Chain A
Amino acid sequence: MKKAELMDYDKALELFEPVLGFEVHVELNTKTKMFCGCANEFGQGANTNTCPTCLGLPGGLPQVNAKAIESSIRLGLALGCEIAEYSRFARKNYFYPDTAKNFQTSQYDEPIAFNGQLTIELESGRLVTVDIERAHMEDDAGKLTHVGGATGRIQGADYSLVDYNRGGVPLVEIVTQMIEGGEADSPEIGRTYVAAIREIVKGLGVSNARMEEGNVRCDANVSLRPRGSNILGTRTETKNVNSLRSVERAVRYEIQRQAALLAAGGTITQETRHWHEDTGITSAGRPKSDADDYRYFPEPDLVPVAPSREWVEELRATLPEPPAARRKRLQANWGFANLEFQDVVNSDLLDAVEATIAAGSAAQAARKWWTGEVARLANVAGVAADSLVHPVQVAALIELVVAGTLTDRLARQVLEGVIAGEGTPLEVVELRGLAVVSDDGALIAAIDEALAAQPDVLAKIRDGKVQAAGAVIGAVMKAMRGQADAARVRELVLERAGTAE
């Protein structure tokens, strides 16, 4: 549907009540895969991290990764879930080339975690409690690359390549109950909910939590209920919405699209839909019905998972402070204004700033460097800021500025050197010879030379026209290639002028 054909958002809400649901897939950052000993990492060359089990070779058998169970339980607990005393894996049977066994090993009626709750805070201050139906474990599929054709999609491709490095990577799928009463806030609820999940898994350390790398993937279910009706509308499932902003946009788009269709007397097809980041619209995927028959049955190759209550309580004790509480505490401790703090949070730099402060920097300096120069360089490089430089190095840089060894301008050059791998800030200062020249002897020599070259200036200073010193200071700074503290140069100029013959 073209944007112009969408129903006005306010009008849509006047006629319909949006009902939401989210399925968020979290890729766990275990060392090895869910059911075999292969490394859980990509980028080593296609199909290098594979074995008979994750390639689905005849005779391959799964073994459960204990760390993945632990991570799933901790995630379940952080979502306020109950942890099953007896939980089983199940086979979800369907043929697709990215699924090596032609079934996904998932969980069906006996998930590891269920009945949770997560309260999120919208920008208006409104609190919304999202009920979590379940969090279950499963293995990821391989990655298909469609070659040839115009779209990069399977339709029209000449052939497709499959890389099973991702096949068998552990996932936790978090499924919400229906979210009603979101009203006009519905799109923001989507974004804030996914942000909250991301923050929780990051805080737990169970996932790398980078949406842009697919560590956290969201499927958004949207349906509309006509005002005054108690019958649920047909829902669509928009798959793989992979940024927070896109979650918000996709929900909003679906509300407007479905409202326009329904108001025109049309019906909603139950289907999956694809989100297009570039055009900001969704398009029809494959029809989906509740009658899709995956022929689930308990995985006979795996014994049930029965976590002892003692272990669950031990894991509960390892849970970090909930992210919302932590944010409140940090903002108060650091004394940041709301906008300053939001800037840090939205840039995903809370951990980095906290670590920098812990390494001895002042809060404002830490914030300024991370959200300023580091973020700028990261943006240029197209990577996450906290992957660019270690907080300890930023703290060391700030310390050099505070000590007067570096000016801000020099410090920015040093930062580039650190990022380029030239060493610690101190080593870069040495290597590039970037320190402020604090040797008065060298400065005095330069000043005397400048004064001698500009006798009229000397006269003016002696006449009390102190602003004339600017010309000499400029010349000295130029001679020192900027590596001098201008204030100290000024002091020395006045001193030399006063004591000169």
Chain B
Amino acid sequence: MTNLIKLSAADLSGLLADRSVSSVEVTRAHLDHIAAIDTDVHAFLHVARDAALATAARIDARRAAGDVLGPLAGVPIAIKDVLATQDMPSTAGSKILEGWIPPYDATVVRRVRDAGLIPLGKTNMDEFAMGSSTEFSAYGPTHNPWDLDRIPGGSGGGSAAAVSSFEAPLALGSDTGGSIRQPAAVTGSVGVKPTYGGVSRYGSIALASSLDQVGPVTRTVYDAALLHDVIGGHDPLDSTSLTDSWPSMAAAARAGLADGALKGVRVGVIKELAGEGFQPGVKQRFEETLALLAKAGAEIVQVSAPNFEYAIAAYYLILPAEASSNLARFDSVRFGIRVNPAEGPLTSERVMAATRDAGFGPEVKRRIILGTYALSAGYYDAYYGSAQKVRTLIQRDFDAAFAQVDVLVSPSAPTTAFKFGEKMTDPMAMYLNDVTTIPANLAGVPGMSLPMGLAPEDGLPVGLQIMAPAKLDARLYTFGAAVERLLEATWGHTLLSQAPELAPTEMFASEEGVV
């Protein structure tokens, strides 16, 4: 029998549609695999085994009754813990929300349920999405399936590890400065940050409102497109949600599979992100990919984005500023944990302070303090004001670049997966890891990461980042699918087929023999 967990969502969709396999079988296969390996990987903070099987049975019954179901009905999905789910705890990786079950579903979660997908559980993340490694999760880090001693990227390391270790074919992530794309890069999976406003943020626990965007985490570009079609589109509950009507991303991805899809595509290489100072293997795979693209008929164009060099500085003012305000609501009054001060009177102010002191981790506190400072009277113009100006300049850099090319490319991250603890004590080193991904968030343009090989020096996945003009997410899928096809044809296999098999952790004494 086919190993169900190794199939793409699209393939599962086909098998489910012609009833060669049931959703219960597919769901159980994934749950069993999670049970077998997640003690080591720790991609999940919560696994909803019974609910998932019950939902799968309902979908099977509806299919049997002849209901018309969407293409992903019956396919399992993992949900990043930043998204509100009314039947599962939603902690955003923070102790302050330990055990909190929201009274509502995020819009994307509701859309996923309405489309008949099967939520398997909630995935690990850096606390409130602040981090690039999941080391800042209050519930312990997630491990990279390629090497359990290494980080899976962050903040959405849980979702990326879940799909790349075959615990789920699909996952939802959120991307504020690279939290979907960087984990995809270091785990050999596919991640898309849609155009800002393309996917609803309602019910996504906010980090930085003007940067956050929910998106798909998958193993193939086409699967990402299928999931994008489910979660995208206008939501009246999110004021920043675009009212545009969107083309089918799945159709756009299929268009990329046509022969000659890369012919004449103008591909911009951003001089400032072309690999200078990046890990040699990352630079090498990027240059090889460019050569392949050129050979396939794409036109490689060098472009410059001079203001990208200020992106990290601007980002680390805007993000903490917005986060400091967004995280003010965690005060123990209406939800979450409550901690009383060890001594002294129990005033609301002191209880709030004690709760926040106990509930927030060090990185969250660092950024709240930074943001509070940046917004303070007398500093606002110099910090937040200047950062907003940089943001405008970066948007202009993108406009100028997209006047010359159809898509922009860069490595998704400067390095492959680093070892645990390597950057924990040096916040700047951690922040610099997002140099490639941050500009897209500042400008609101869509970005994708897909695997472009393994770095020769460490055998770990390297990601290619593709960016398109705002609202042209479809172009990302067409180009991305074409590149994915080109690379896999060159390799003769998918990248993830090269990942080491993870052994089940359960050992049975009787089978091992007793001395």
Contact = CB atoms under 8 A, between A and B. Distances in A.
A445 to B, nearest CB: 74
Interface residues of B, number: 44
Interface residues of A, number: 31
A58 B323 CA distance: 12
Given A52-B102, A56-B334, A57-B335, A95 B349 contact: yes
A123 interface: no
Nearest to A160: B348
A97 B331 contact: yes
A64 B241 CA distance: 13
Contacts of A63: 236-239
B202 A300 contact: no
A58 B102 contact: yes
B325 A103 contact: yes
B477 interface: no
Given A93-B375, A103-B325, A59 B349 contact: no
Contacts of B100: 58
Contacts of A4: none
Interface stretch (A291-299, A394-402, A463-471, A478-486): A291-299
Nearest to B105: A59
A91 B325 contact: yes
A303 interface: yes
A301 interface: yes
Contacts of A296: 375, 380
B201 to A, nearest CB: 6
Contacts of A56: 329, 334
B210 interface: yes
Contacts of B237: 61, 63
Where chain B touches its partner, the secondary structure class is: loop
A62 interface: yes
Interface string B70-107: 00000000000001100000101000010010111010
Nearest to B240: A303
A102 interface: yes
A301 B84 contact: no
B340 interface: no
Contacts of A61: 201-202, 206, 237-239
A100 interface: yes
Where chain A touches its partner, the secondary structure class is: loop
A101 interface: yes
A305 to B, nearest CB: 10
B498 interface: no
A55 interface: yes
B332 to A, nearest CB: 10
Contacts of B240: 300-303
Given A162-B333, A291-B377, A300 B90 contact: no
B204 interface: yes
Contacts of B349: 95
A155 to B, nearest CB: 10
Interface centre among A56, A57, A91, A303, by most B CB within 10 Å?
Answer: A57
B384 interface: yes
Contacts of A64: 239
Interface in A297-322: 297, 300-303
B103 A57 contact: yes
Contacts of A103: 325, 328
Interface string A257-283: 000000000000000000000000000
A420 B235 CA distance: 48
B89 to A, nearest CB: 12
A297 B239 contact: no
B232 interface: no
A220 B383 CA distance: 35
28 contacts: A51-B104, A52-B103, A52-B104, A55-B334, A57-B84, A59-B84, A59-B202, A59-B205, A60-B203, A61-B201, A61-B202, A61-B206, A62-B239, A63-B236, A64-B239, A95-B352, A97-B348, A101-B328, A102-B331, A103-B325, A103-B328, A293-B377, A296-B380, A297-B321, A297-B375, A300-B208, A300-B240, A301-B239
7 shortest A-B CB distances, which residue pairs? Answer: A102-B328, A300-B209, A295-B375, A300-B210, A59-B203, A58-B205, A59-B84
